[in-house]
Structure 1
Amino acid sequence: MPEYLTKVRASQMWKVADGTGITVAVIDSGVKDLPGLKGRVLPGVSFMEPPISRPDEKYPPHDDFAGHGTTMTSAIVGDGSGGGPQGLAPGAKVMPIRTSIGTPMAFGAIGESAKGVRYAADNGAKIINLSIGGWWSLDKMRSAVEYAQSKGVLVFVAMGNEGDGNKSANPIAGLPGVLGVGAVDITGEPLPSSSYGSSTDLAGFGGKVPVRCKENTAWCVQDGGTSYATSLASASAALVWSAHPDWTANQVARVLIQTAGGPVDGAKRNDWIGYGIARPSKVLIDRAGDPGAPDTDPLAGPAPVKTPAPSADPTAAAPRREESAAARAGLSWKWPALGAAVAVALGLGIAVVVKRRRR
């Protein structure tokens, strides 16, 4: 079992809940039908627009040019076979919603994703995973997210991988009620590449993990970044919701925030990890967290009251270094943006910051 699953006491958690009964919509590049995902992926839908020159081209949701959506799906529900990751919520189901991510038509992916958000909300998804970002069609995404929230859906979005001293963040993470997710390494220190800002709410492991590579024909170990971290946050919510099916999205979000492994300096939150690293085991095993009011957005009111995680806790977040050794060496985890308007997970580059509105 991967070390990050051991740290969150996955085997013990799965005796309480494994995500059964919860559908997570993964709005991404589609999903490849791998043996390790058998029986864990729903039919889904594709909103990928065909090129003008080939208007009759079909792009089924169970296909994936980029491998990105396949990686996110496996991180949530994979069985760990064939070199792929063991999913954190193996009993959950993934609803794949395919967009143009990973293709020359990626400029349309955010608009397609907005359609996907609405589809997911209308077709049984409790959680939406957006390990993508961009600023084009942000108004469409805003209204789609509001619609999903009106249906009781919880939305997670990657903060982006344009860190390295640049306070740039995925603008979708700034939308009210959306949970923005940053990435940490196995020690709990924020990845140098992780984007950060006032819209960061939680963090998850995003270090060296199996990701699809070689044109989605194999698994390679690379930094998964905030995309992978977001998938783990979505899976964490699936575990909690599976154990407490009567809770609302606000209540699931609230206990994840309350029980997060926060900054070791005792701060309630910071711009790199938000309220801390998601720790569903605190809810499932230790029975910590108060779900509170079902209809109150935990991000809209005063900052949640929580006890800072002790520094001995392996899932507490270490302070961010002023400059990592890799950064000093001039190394970069950035991947080029796909298309003019959007970038994805293992290298999600965003240049626009939208401040989260907190009432």
Structure 2
Amino acid sequence: MPHHSWQPLRCTLLTTLTLTLAACSTQTSAPAPQPDAAPYMRTVDITAATTRQDLEAKYGQVLTYAPQAGFAVVSAPAPLSRQDLGTTDPNREPISEAVEPNTNAIRVSSGALWTDADVWHSGGALWTDGSGGFGWTNGNGGFGWTNGGALWTDGKYIPLPQNSFAWVQVGLPQAHALAPKFGQNVKIAVIDTGIDLNHTAFADRLVAPSDMYDFVDNDHTPQEIGTPMVGSFGHGTGVAGIALQAAPNAKIMPLRVIEPDGLGDMDNVVNAVIFAVDHGAQIINLSLGSDQGSRSLQRALEYAASRNVLVFEAAGNRNLEQLDRPAAFAAQQTYAGAAQLSVGSVNSQDGKSWFSNYATTLELSAPGEMIATLAPGERVAVWSGTSMSTPLAAGIAALALGEQGRLNAGSVASRLLSTATNIDAVPANSAFIGKVGRRINAANFVASYMPIP
């Protein structure tokens, strides 16, 4: 998600470090490695009979080849202005209007508060065993990071203590009581900076290697790389960790499209969406965005909708009365829009987070301030941003899918909205009435799918 924001946290229990940064298919194998991405690209319609060779002969470099989705993305020359075309007539559309930027056209940038040790204390305590192990104990012999990515103590799932208030705020404990499968076997694609594949909390909570991919390095190892405290390192790990706190038995499908500097190419995101759909994702999380729309990404999201995949998209963190793309298009009255949800951030009092974008088209909000989640190297970090509220919503959706099996993506999105809580009356939102979305209510949402005892 573009432009995460952060606020300093005063902590008397730990020494902390702060970081500020600039948010039935035919294709089942990994995409063929591509040469360096073209600066610009164009989306073209194709049929099942169109070969990659046909496209290369006509357009040159092929960035996305998706006959199952009815389109391809090819390299394009730099766009031309109307003046370049010899006209200033606003009614004449230059051919370059079909051209869009590709290189570094998508971004995530986030703020985090990292601890300088693998230890927290808040009621219970997170501990290390001296050999890189990491867990949580309630003082009664309980333990954590067992049974895969879930945080368990005395055989019962317990959220990270730092998030207890936020989870109560959205009714997550009640939702967990109603959904004992905890999102079992639901695949959530996290299209991001990759994740720390070796983090103990992800054990048994990842899809098979053949179902994950690194579109930056073109391999099946989407390992998050970088240096702690530098760039956007840790972003994808944190996003995936929040989704798992909401749906502890879900399966994370990590798809790496973002470099350590927080920037990525649009064609990689397009390819990741297609890959996620073709490899069985039921939910896609996009905690990233762009200033401008992308026809190619919209086509990929239309394909996701046609395959009944629900997509959650971060609103952005610039405190603007507009949403980042593709979240800005989630409210469109189309079949593709029906399967997408834009997500903003609220604070602990349901007030709009000071950094969160807002608009009359914003659909959902969720807690996104100072959320504790996983970080590379067996750590936990605290992050703020709509990148954090978005996977919380995605994980809550996974709870219903885990109980009910495959559900219609549009109906799930509609029910998330209809069961959410109207927060317009919150005093802090007086200047944003009708523009902060409805705050997700996990308890109401899950209860709407479960029979009354």
Q: TM over 0.5, yes or no?
A: yes
**Change beyond 3 A, Cα 1:24–1:246:** closer
User: In structure 1, how many angstroms separate the alpha carbons of the residues matched to 2:378 and 2:445?
Assistant: 37
Report the equivalent of 1:54.
Answer: none
The partner residue of 2:213 within 42, 46, 56 is 46
> Is 2:212–2:220's contact at 8 Å kept on the other side of the alignment?
no
CA displacement at 1:279 relative to structure 2: 1.1
Q: CA RMSD in A?
A: 2.7
Report the equivalent of 1:34.
Answer: 199
> Is 2:400–2:449's contact at 8 Å kept on the other side of the alignment?
no
SS at match of 1:161: coil
**Change beyond 3 A, Cα 1:99–1:258:** same
> Is 2:293–2:325's contact at 8 Å kept on the other side of the alignment?
no
Identity %: 27
**Change beyond 3 A, Cα 1:252–1:91:** same
State the Cα deviation string for residues 80-124 of structure 1 (Å, max 9, x = none).
Answer: xxxxxxx011111111111124337x241x321111111111111
CA displacement at 1:225 relative to structure 2: 1.1
User: In structure 1, how many angstroms separate the alpha carbons of the residues matched to 2:294 and 2:260?
Assistant: 19
User: In structure 1, how many angstroms separate the alpha carbons of the residues matched to 2:249 and 2:393?
Assistant: 15
User: In structure 2, how many angstroms separate the alpha carbons of the residues matched to 1:118 and 1:191?
Assistant: 32
The partner residue of 1:8 within 163, 170, 184 is 170
Residue 260 of structure 2 aligns with an amino acid whose one-letter code is G
Q: Greater shift after overlay, 136-145 or 32-41?
A: 136-145
Unaligned runs of 5+ in 2: 1-160, 227-232
SS at match of 1:95: strand
Residue 262 of structure 1 aligns with an amino acid whose one-letter code is N
Report the equivalent of 1:229.
Answer: 389
User: In structure 1, how many angstroms separate the alpha carbons of the residues matched to 2:254 and 2:299?
Assistant: 21
Aligned 1:227-266 pairs, distance under 5 A = 227-265=387-425
Report the equivalent of 1:102.
Answer: 260
Aligned 1:137-176 pairs, distance under 5 A = 138-163=294-319, 166-175=320-329, 176=332
State the Cα deviation string for residues 185-231 of structure 1 (Å, max 9, x = none).
Answer: 11111101001123311011101122567x86743334x21010000
SS at match of 1:72: helix
CA displacement at 1:46 relative to structure 2: 2.9
SS at match of 1:134: coil
Q: Greater shift after overlay, 41-50 or 62-71?
A: 41-50
User: In structure 2, how many angstroms separate the alpha carbons of the residues matched to 1:287 and 1:218?
Assistant: 35
Residue 21 of structure 1 aligns with an amino acid whose one-letter code is N
> Is 1:185–1:205's contact at 8 Å kept on the other side of the alignment?
yes
> Is 1:190–1:272's contact at 8 Å kept on the other side of the alignment?
no
Residue 367 of structure 2 aligns with an amino acid whose one-letter code is F
SS at match of 2:407: coil
CA displacement at 1:61 relative to structure 2: 1.0
CA displacement at 1:167 relative to structure 2: 1.7
**Change beyond 3 A, Cα 1:24–1:270:** farther
> Is 1:99–1:112's contact at 8 Å kept on the other side of the alignment?
yes
User: In structure 2, how many angstroms separate the alpha carbons of the residues matched to 1:147 and 1:156?
Assistant: 15
**Change beyond 3 A, Cα 1:226–1:187:** same
> Is 2:322–2:328's contact at 8 Å kept on the other side of the alignment?
no
**Change beyond 3 A, Cα 1:137–1:255:** closer
Report the equivalent of 1:62.
Answer: 223
CA displacement at 1:13 relative to structure 2: 2.1
Report the equivalent of 2:22.
Answer: none
- Greater fraction strand: 2
User: In structure 1, how many angstroms separate the alpha carbons of the residues matched to 2:293 and 2:268?
Assistant: 9
User: In structure 2, how many angstroms separate the alpha carbons of the residues matched to 1:64 and 1:180?
Assistant: 28
> Is 2:359–2:436's contact at 8 Å kept on the other side of the alignment?
no
